[in-house]
Amino acid sequence: MTATGPCNAPDVVDVVALGESMVALLPSRPGRLADVPSFDRGIGGAESNVACALAAAGHTVRWVSRVGTDGFGDHLVETVGSYGVDVTSVRRDPTRPTGVYFRTAGDRATEAHEVAYYRAGSAASAMSVDTVGLDAVRAGRVLHLTGITAALSADCLGLLRELTAPGPGRPLVSFDVNHRPRLWTDGNSPQVLLELARGADLVFVGEDEAAEVWGLDGVDAVRTAFPDPEVLVVKQGALGATVFDRGRVLHVPAPRVDVVAAVGAGDAFAAGFLSATLRGLPLRDRLRHGHLMAAAALTVPGDLAVPPGRAHADRLAALDPQAWGRLRLGPGWTHTEDRADEEVRTP
């Protein structure tokens, strides 16, 4: 599958990413939120993470969202824009605030991890077919969406239904399920996320996520539940990922990674896979580029990482199966341009 879209549009870009980004308050030291004395400011948002990673990888990208007319909104727009992302279609809301959240420093997978969201009634929750510029949203080779947006409000869900509906000139629609249980208070997430995924052309879903949301066991069961998307990518954590592309099925293992923080990897994987898709690379290399971009995120403390240079990533993605299997990536690996045999090592 190659990305196609409304390429005659005057403002066409490689990728448009639509969704809420928030200011993230990150603890200055480990411990409970009740005990942490100060926080450092960052940003967090699945779609803007993908946008920033793709822009850093050399693609033209537009982020579409809504933020408040407040300092946090200023920070989000300026920070996302600093990655080279087009933020001119981000609208400001004078009556609703920009969302913020606090989190602890620990691994999100542990029971001790805490996240406190202050996003109810945010400017982004008011996104709808009437409050975003649909021409700007559709003027891309790829439109990237996630299930997070669908959970924010009825208007947001209506917008995603509009954008995933079939129609002339629709860009390739990429949809990351990105299930967030705390956002779905009505219990409708299985039906809604399945509906949206079935309307997309390219779907990303975690194998564990599919088991949690729909009770699906294994990658074949996931494909049976998602027969409509032309391309389905099932992420399998440290084991790798499996892609279904029409009649083809391919599994590619992930390289070993010395993890610094298990945050942002899913968004980075989507960015790597989309980047390789836009470049028309073969399926194996699309998965490998996803793994490499995820490894970049896993080896830094925050959600966003500097991706490897394109030539560097291409060289690693082209390794033979044995060399790829020996690959181990640690902090700082994206800044090295040494020979592949110096990076391919056994512990």
Residues serving a catalytic function are: 267
CA distance 139 to 169: 9
CA distance 8 to 12: 7
Q: Where does residue 155 rank: exposed (0-12), middle (13-18), buried (19+ CB within 10 A)?
A: middle
For 213-238, the DSSP string reads HH---SHHHHHHH--SSSEEEEE-GG
How far is CA 289 from each of CA 46, 56, 177, 252, rounded to the nearest angstrom? 18, 14, 20, 11
Contact 148, 122 (CB under 8 A): no
Residue appearing with tokens 């669908």:
150
Give kind and range of the element (H or E) at residue 295.
helix 283-298
Q: Pick from 281, 332, 329: which is nearest to 340 by CA?
A: 329
CA 70, 71, 72, 75: dihedral to nearest 10 degrees? 130
Strand partners for 17: 63, 144
Q: Pick from 228, 167, 153, 172: which is nearest to 195 by CA?
A: 228
Q: Pick from 207, 252, 240: which is nearest to 226 by CA?
A: 207
